[in-house]
A and B are shown apart, each in its own frame.
Chain A
Amino acid sequence: MSDHERAAAARMRSGAERIADLFSVAREEGRAVFLPFLTAGLPNPASSTRLFAAMAEAGADGFEVGIPYSDPLMDGPVICRGSEQAISEGATLDRSLSILGEVAETTGLPSLAMTYANPVFRRGADRFCDRLAEAGAAGLIVADLPFDEAGPLGDAARRHGLGLVLFLALTSGYNRIRAVAEAEPSFIYAVANLGVTGERSEWSSRVERLVEGIREVTDIPVVLGVGISTPEQAAIAAGLADGFIVGTALVRRVLESSDEEDAARSLAGLVGEMAFAARR
């Protein structure tokens, strides 16, 4: 199959299926899936897609595209600042979803929306999912939506062929692990640290126990996120789980860049090292 044919075939598959493919291919190759996070609209809506393209070239497997939100409860100061900047640069909900669509189209990689519950329910779960599917998104992650409240959105996502991701945390007990597994998310976002997103120097030994606890219950892919900011930490995460997410370290690089060119270069550098680490 040519690249073009492969891309055409991929488009025939639903978002949820493309996420599943990502993990099955990585499992066959004996490596972890690396999903960089970046806020849509950084450094501004016009040049955002280009930064994702640079990360794709540097070895990203897929993306979490952050939909900037005014009150991001799960995010630390860096991603909060990124959200504020994106909003002030004009990243409305529609513009952000368009950027997500451009990212999916340009890179051909499975791209998931990372958002909060209010923008989703404000628009309506079904309409939101419809718009995501139309844009070419593979799925969505809602930071303040535990499985207990995820039922209606899960149904809407399924109707539109999108994968819904659910969370588990270091504080989640057996009952919650069971319940999340039964809801059959596309993957489980295992929150690797207490607290909000941000860089950490320490890696909690409890992460290992959480991943083991999940594995005893289900073989749904487990992706680690929150606090992974260095290639060393990425390598540990890749050894433990099916994938990992890096956000704050990337957003920081964009915020600290002098211009778009510099940001793209800086992101590609870190993503390249992280992708190498994902090869275990």
Chain B
Amino acid sequence: MRARLHRPDPRGRFGEYGGRFAPETLMTALEELEVEFASAWADPLFVGEYHRLLELYVGRPTPLYPAHRLSERLGVEVWLKREDLAHTGAHKINNALGQGLLAHRMGKPRIIAETGAGQHGVATATAAAVLGLECQVYMGEVDIRRQAPNVSRMQILGADVIGVASGAGTLKDAVSEAMRDWARTVEETQYVIGSVVGPHPFPWMVRELQKVIGDEVLRQSEQLPDVAVACVGGGSNAIGMFWPLAGTGVELVGVEAGGEGIGTGRHGASIGAGSPGILHGARTYMLQDDDGQVLEAHSISAGLDYPGVGPEHSYFQEVGLARYVSVTDREALDGVRLLALTEGIIPALESAHAVAWVAREASSLRHKTVLINLSGRGDKDMEMLVERL
């Protein structure tokens, strides 16, 4: 097994994956961003300010909670990393604040973001408000409908939410539209990308800003778990937990969206059922046809409804640092109910995928300790839950 990489190679590659397949207009900004982030990340003042905000504003460290009743029910010792308790309700704030601080440091007065479930949009709108930046968020029209509460939250926070009608009107289209905006406004705008996707340096930078999750786990556990599980859309919460644990002997499991079932073709399992290609600036596993046309993903959870995955996950999969599985929409819904009834926690539909995998595999996980990254809370999904549960 090859080791995790502290930094991608000079071309932005994690092994065969990653890189910088972007329009020329963005290339200078990407080069600058890499230099600026590397310098900020080595600057004790910047890192100190980031950690001060994480502690006093976000409420970190988030608890590592032993889920006794769930453990009893499943016959598996389950721990939850409570990212749902972070300010704004998901891990996304770790990244949005870091990139917001960077935009501030670089003197860019405006930030833009894409959002699927709306959690990254809310986190970015929040970062913009607290740092005094102008903010616009691109969101697919379909997602605007299914995650309505988050749209209102962004608007109350002063962000402008721009609906994207192209394509399927979901996360992929929102990313494309944000990149188009950035190509037009690159000189005064920072694109705060929401996951470990996109051209270099985004996958590396977002991982660095999310690995606080796994770093805390290392500090909080007297004994490391046997297995660590996280849902994977683009994969930012997963890489944030996996990266510090990679190579420690903990088995890492990423759970992709199985949608209506892999066999139906309506899913978001880029690693499980896709192939390597180039999407949103990086070479990575993705859903595509024989002509290289990008296929539409499907998931009940907007945050996993994406036909690609962060390039570092493609690398983790290839070198065996993690394995990737999937659970269906139905299983995820059951995961929500299970966690709600046993622990009094309504998880985000995204995070419920990780819960559902543990529930499904409980017999093979017996006598093991399993850590689930509970990446977000389910308030945003109430309408869907009322309808489907």
Residue ranges of A at the interface with B (Cβ–Cβ < 8 Å): 69-71, 73-74, 76-77, 80, 87, 92-94, 116-123, 143-146, 148-149, 167-173, 176, 191, 194-196
Contacts and interface: CB of A to CB of B under 8 A. Distances in A.
21 contacts: A69-B293, A70-B293, A71-B176, A71-B279, A73-B280, A74-B183, A119-B291, A122-B277, A122-B288, A122-B291, A122-B292, A146-B23, A169-B24, A169-B27, A171-B24, A171-B26, A176-B24, A191-B23, A194-B184, A196-B23, A196-B184
Contact of A146 (B22, B186, B280): B22
A196 B180 contact: yes
B81 interface: no
Smallest CB-CB A-B distances: 3 pairs: A122-B292, A195-B184, A119-B292
Interface in B1-28: 11, 19-28
Nearest to B166: A80
A69 B167 CA distance: 12
A122 B290 CA distance: 7
B29 interface: yes
Count chain B CB atoms within 10 A of each CB in A80, A172, A191, A195 and give the residue with the most: A195
Nearest to A170: B25
B205 to A, nearest CB: 18
B125 interface: no
Contacts of B179: 73
A119 B185 CA distance: 28
Contacts of B292: 69, 93, 118-123
A195 B281 CA distance: 16
A149 B184 contact: no
Interface string B281-323: 1010000101111100000000000000000000000000000
A119 B278 CA distance: 9
A66 B22 CA distance: 18
Contacts of A169: 23-25, 27-28
B187 interface: yes
A73 B23 contact: yes
B288 A149 contact: no
Contacts of A168: 24
B172 interface: yes
Contacts of B176: 71, 73
B28 A194 contact: no
A171 B283 CA distance: 24
Contacts of A121: 277-278, 283, 292
Name B's interface SS: mixed
Contacts of B185: 194-195
Contact of A194 (B172, B186, B283): B186
B149 to A, nearest CB: 29
Given A118-B277, A118-B278, A71 B294 contact: yes
A196 B183 contact: yes
A1 B6 CA distance: 64
A119 B24 contact: no
Given A74-B183, A122-B277, A122-B288, A194 B293 contact: no
A120 B21 CA distance: 13
Contacts of B25: 169-171, 191, 194-195
A215 B1 CA distance: 50
A118 B294 contact: yes
A117 B183 contact: no
Given A122-B291, A144-B22, 15 more contacts: A69-B293, A70-B167, A117-B278, A143-B23, A145-B21, A148-B27, A149-B21, A194-B183, A194-B184, A194-B185, A194-B186, A195-B183, A196-B23, A196-B183, A196-B184
Contacts of A196: 23, 180, 183-184
B166 A144 contact: no
B24 A93 contact: no
Contacts of B294: 70-71, 118
Given A121-B292, A149-B20, A176 B27 contact: yes
B142 to A, nearest CB: 17
A172 B24 contact: yes
Contacts of B291: 92-94, 119, 122
Contacts of A144: 21-23, 278, 281
B11 A148 contact: yes
B28 A148 contact: no
A87 B293 contact: yes
Interface string B179-194: 1100111110000000
A71 B11 CA distance: 23
A156 B187 CA distance: 35
Given A71-B279, A118-B277, A148-B11, A172 B28 contact: yes
A3 to B, nearest CB: 36
Contacts of A76: 180
Nearest to A148: B20
Contacts of A77: 166
A167 B24 contact: yes
A118 B234 CA distance: 18
A176 B28 contact: yes
A173 B11 CA distance: 18
Contacts of A122: 277, 288, 290-292
Contacts of B277: 118, 121-122
A176 B19 CA distance: 17
B23 A167 contact: yes
A122 B281 CA distance: 15
Most buried by A among B11, B167, B179, B180: B180
A119 B293 contact: yes
A146 B278 contact: no
A69 B277 CA distance: 14
Nearest to B181: A195
B193 to A, nearest CB: 14
